[in-house]
Amino acid sequence: MSLLRLPRQSGAAAEEKAKCYLERRGLKTLERNFHCRRGEIDLVMQEADTLVFVEVRFRRDNRFGSAQESVTRSKQQRIIAAARLFLGSRQQWIDAPCRFDVLAISGQHQENIDWVRDAFRPVS
């Protein structure tokens, strides 16, 4: 992998790595890059009967904070809003248990992976 990748290329590579990582751990990919007026969800996956909304974050280094720290409260709110719209457009999932995970990838060659299950929850 080139160290001079454009951010979009690095992000796409990180999302593919995250998808494969989670599939090897038994999750099933339902959708990638769900876009709506409220935001985007990188990966929508299924683990048993649970719908998992995954935010993939990549950082080469921690100079500006870790990949996990980059999922701010504001970013979480956009993901939650997008998840609500996803559920509204996919009636088969409307009653499914859901969770929000963060898959943080770091390192020059995307060698470090940290999967944070149930990383945040909607505020009631």
pLDDT digits (tens, 9 = 90+) for 36-49: 988 899 999 999 99
3-state secondary structure of 52: strand
Measured distance CA(103)–CA(14) in Å, rounded: 9
The whole-number average pLDDT for the span 22-33 is: 97
Judge residue 89's burial from the number of C-beta atoms within 10 Å of its C-beta, 0-12 exposed, 13-18 middle, 19 or more buried: exposed
Tell me which architecture the domain covering 7-112 has in CATH.
Answer: 3-Layer(aba) Sandwich (3.40)
Q: Give the position of tokens 């160290």.
A: 3
Q: Which pTM value belongs to this model? A: 0.86
Give the mean pLDDT of the chain.
85
- In the chain, domain spans: 7-112
- Is the pLDDT at 52 greater than 90, yes or no? yes
